[in-house]
Amino acid sequence: MAPPAMAVGISTINGTGRVRRCVESVRRASLCGQVEVSRIVVVDDGSSESKLRELRDLSQGLEFEFREHRRNLGISATWNHIIDALMDSPLVLVLNDDIQLRPRCLEMLYYFTRWHHGAWGTVSPWLAHRGEPTPLKITGCTPTVPQVALSPCGAAFLLRPPFWRAVGGFDETFKSFYEEVDFGLRLAQLGLWSYHLPTVGADHGWSETFIENAEMLKPEERMRDSRSYFRSKWGGDLPSAPRIQELFSYMAPHGVHWLSPDGPQDAMCEPIIWAECESAAPTIST
């Protein structure tokens, strides 16, 4: 019997070293977890010519497919490019270039999809930064079962391409920030929830791309623009926007509720879109 398989797509900009570490971690996880990686596609979003040359050379050495944008189009366009290129794959894992998978990550993600074969939209591994599991601070406790959310983790998530297509892909008006929140909400409108696994599966460099490309990407400006666009699109902020409240009215009978803090969201802070499913689910062990 052939081993289970998935494809991997990685977004980057001026990130030769990050891409190398990310791809190498994917290869290790494939070997350790016995999940075959059928294809790896790296899409560059406007790197300098010298970095493009480095990435082209790297693609030959590490044997991944390399595609490029001649100018920076934003993360939503890059993710859409990645998923469109991998439409023939039943499962696609999308990663930022500052992600490094841990050995059992692919296996955990794959076996979640085998267990929860129905209404899931995305599934993300827990991430760690400098050894600390960053998302656990949201719930204030260590979860033991997959957690339901209204959006995927914006740095690492698994999806099925037909459902990406069903909601129209990522909204490319969002150049950075809020794009995964908008995408997750549109999936949730179809009853396709986003899940986060209860075990750390990857390490995240945490904004390395923005730090190294601040002049080009202008993160603070993009955060403000994305928040403004999100409010106009959804009729307000989270969680008060009426269209988002409707989603929670639908989810409440299923034991899903808000865990994010009350009060207005800071204009410079992406909102926490988080809920907890009270129904038990199989624990995924490492």
- For residue 53, report the phi and psi dihedrals to the nearest 5 degrees: -60, -45
Is the pLDDT at 159 greater than 80, yes or no?
yes
Mean pLDDT over 22-46 rounds to: 94
Specify whether the CB–CB gap between 216 and 72 falls below 8 A.
Answer: yes
Least confident stretch, 63-67, 150-154, 215-219: 215-219
pLDDT digits (tens, 9 = 90+) for 90-141: 999 999 999 999 999 999 999 998 887 677 899 999 888 876 666 444 444 5
Q: Which tokens in the block code for residue 24?
A: 């190498």
Specify whether the CB–CB gap between 185 and 85 falls below 8 A.
Answer: no
Closest residue by Cα to residue 143 from 105, 103, 193, 197: 197
Give the residue with greater pLDDT, 253 vs 82. 82
Give the residue with greater pLDDT, 56 vs 4. 56
Give the residue with greater pLDDT, 250 vs 100. 100
Residues forming a β-bridge with 4? none
Is the pLDDT at 223 greater than 60, yes or no?
yes
Closest residue by Cα to residue 92 from 5, 24, 159: 159
Confidence (pLDDT) at 143: 63
The DSSP-derived string for 169-214 is: S--TT-SSSSHHHHHHHHHHHTT-EEEEEEEEEEEE--SHHHHHTH
Give the global pTM: 0.87
